[in-house]
């Protein structure tokens, strides 16, 4: 990808007497600068690999949220009044500046979430693509009122005002940039609620965009301690200036956000959890399927909403497929991402490790077979395959969100479709078959917002509609499909008569 930055891990940070890097300090981002919270409170994020403090961030509260909303409302009209070409120029400047920020992003992603080099590079590539796609949208979007003639009737689109953007920790650059850049492209101002697990990484997005030319006050960033999240989110959604919300995260929290927004009659874009099915038919190219399954299941420890969670394979090739997959998977051993060659870093939180270990234990007690990996060891978990998953197991239906994939054996393509759709989630999916017509017919039946034929479940192209069905949310990021998410459509007429 042209202009894709090359990350390293050498961000210059102060070193303490014991040789450890001191934590990155993060304030609230208001009017183009970082400031303390009104209460001067703060919270810490620990490095999941070392348990040392990675960042110390301001803990915003309701009063800070009220102030941010007022600032965003005050600065909205100036940004909205710019032409689409002017906004596009800012987004393209941000893209050109991204390589200069790559080292800092890499350092912060490593310390706050234990990211590997592969995952950092993926995030930076997607962020570059997001800035390209949103610049193109900005150039095409014109909110000016067309000239009206006699009895003319026109439809116009205008930016909505202040948008609240909430992005998760697991893909902080890619998903953070997506949540901010799309509403900015259409002329909205944005309040970005950073994740409590990567406040320093998320703050760097604001610094980048501000340097690129996003005016002071158009983008604000809220950081808050976990115990204050509900207070902050409720305050922001309730504020009269905030008109739209986009949230990427778990289905559990998405339901809460949607409920609060519904109480205030405000529209949401929700991109939530997933349990992506990966269907392998009897005529599939098994080598290509194994390669795609490994990428989709274990990139970023499987801590991706569209990760390959369920491999649904026809019985006739199941043994051969599992053997080939296991041979490759056994090489994926988790460790410190700062060490060379490590492709699996630590899990994001201790809670993820506990939950994954419980899913494995439950499956084994009920007849499944552990092929590779196993329960978590401390903050780490090696790449894991559990074979012979059945409906009586928790693993059958619960989202993994970790380096754990289940093998579901089926007797036919029709049964594969039934099993794939027997799930509350519907974000991404994949079908592997040498017969493209058959694969397309299956793809048409899968209840997912995204389906890739002979490709991994993990893919991102910001010019394409991205979102899910069922409990994976509603609304779409990407391309013209997000026009409704971030603009208001209006009907204006004139009779051609003037007042007397």
Residues with catalytic roles: 271, 305
Angle, helices 413-421/436-445, rounded to nearest 10 degrees = 30
Cα–Cα distance for residue pair 402/68, rounded to 1 Å = 35
- Quickly list H helices, 266-412: 286-298, 315-329, 350-365, 394-397
Pairing relationship of beta strands 53-58 and 42-46 according to DSSP bridges: antiparallel
CB 437, CB 447: distance < 8 Å = no
Cα–Cα distance for residue pair 500/498, rounded to 1 Å = 6
- Quickly list H helices, 224-314: 229-238, 251-263, 286-298
CB 43, CB 100: distance < 8 Å = no
Q: Residue 167 — left, alpha, or beta (φ > 0 → left; ψ -120 to 50 → alpha)?
A: beta
Cα–Cα distance for residue pair 360/384, rounded to 1 Å = 9
Helices and strands per DSSP (H, E), number in the chain: 14, 22
- Dig out the tokens for 12 from the structure: 């210059």
Cα–Cα distance for residue pair 427/76, rounded to 1 Å = 33
């Amino acid at each position: 990808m042209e202009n894709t930055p090359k990350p390293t891990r050498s961000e210059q940070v102060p070193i303490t007497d014991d040789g450890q890097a001191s934590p990155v300090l993060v304030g609230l981002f208001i009017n183009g600068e970082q400031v303390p919270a009104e209460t001067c409170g703060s919270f810490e994020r620990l490095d999941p690999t070392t348990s040392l403090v990675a960042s110390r961030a301001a803990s915003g509260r309701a009063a800070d949220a009220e102030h941010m909303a007022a600032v965003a409302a005050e600065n909205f009209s100036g940004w909205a009044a710019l032409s689409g070409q002017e906004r596009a120029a800012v987004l393209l400047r941000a893209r050109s500046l991204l390589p200069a920020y790559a080292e800092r992003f890499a350092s912060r992603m490593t310390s706050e979430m234990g990211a590997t080099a592969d995952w950092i590079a993926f995030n930076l590539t997607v962020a570059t693509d997001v800035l390209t796609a949103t610049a193109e949208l900005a150039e095409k979007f014109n909110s000016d009122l067309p000239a009206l003639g006699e009895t003319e009737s026109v439809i116009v689109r205008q930016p909505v005002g202040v948008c609240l953007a909430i992005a998760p920790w697991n893909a902080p650059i890619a998903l953070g940039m997506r949540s901010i850049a799309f509403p900015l492209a259409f002329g909205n101002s944005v309040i970005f609620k950073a994740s409590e697990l990567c406040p320093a990484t998320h703050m760097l997005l604001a610094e980048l965009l501000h340097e690129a030319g996003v005016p002071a006050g158009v983008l604000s960033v809220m950081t808050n301690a976990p115990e204050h999240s509900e207070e902050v989110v409720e305050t922001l959604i309730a504020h009269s200036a905030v008109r739209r919300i986009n949230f990427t995260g778990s289905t559990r929290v998405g339901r809460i956000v949607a409920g609060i927004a519904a109480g205030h009659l405000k529209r949401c874009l929700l991109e939530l959890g997933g349990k992506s099915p990966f269907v392998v038919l009897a005529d599939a190219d098994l080598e290509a399927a194994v390669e795609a399954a490994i990428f989709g299941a274990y990139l970023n420890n499987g801590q991706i909403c569209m990760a390959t969670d369920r491999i649904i394979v026809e019985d006739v090739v199941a043994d051969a497929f599992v053997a080939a997959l296991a041979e490759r998977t056994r090489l994926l051993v988790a460790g410190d991402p700062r060490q060379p060659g490590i492709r699996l870093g630590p899990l994001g939180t201790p809670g993820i490790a506990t939950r994954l270990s419980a899913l494995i234990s439950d499956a084994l007690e009920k007849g499944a077979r552990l092929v590779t990996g196993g329960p978590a060891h401390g903050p780490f978990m090696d790449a894991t395959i559990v074979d012979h998953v059945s409906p009586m197991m928790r693993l059958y239906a619960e989202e993994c969100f970790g380096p754990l994939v289940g093998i579901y054996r089926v007797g036919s393509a029709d049964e594969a479709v039934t099993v794939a759709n027997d799930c509350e989630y519907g974000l991404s999916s994949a079908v592997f078959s040498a017969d493209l017509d058959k694969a397309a017919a299956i793809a048409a039946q899968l209840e997912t917002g995204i389906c890739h034929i002979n490709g991994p479940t993990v893919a991102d192209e910001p010019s394409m509609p991205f979102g899910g069905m069922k409990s994976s949310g509603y609304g779409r990021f990407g391309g013209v499909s997000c026009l409704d998410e971030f603009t208001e459509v209006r009907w204006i007429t004139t009779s051609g008569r003037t007042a007397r």
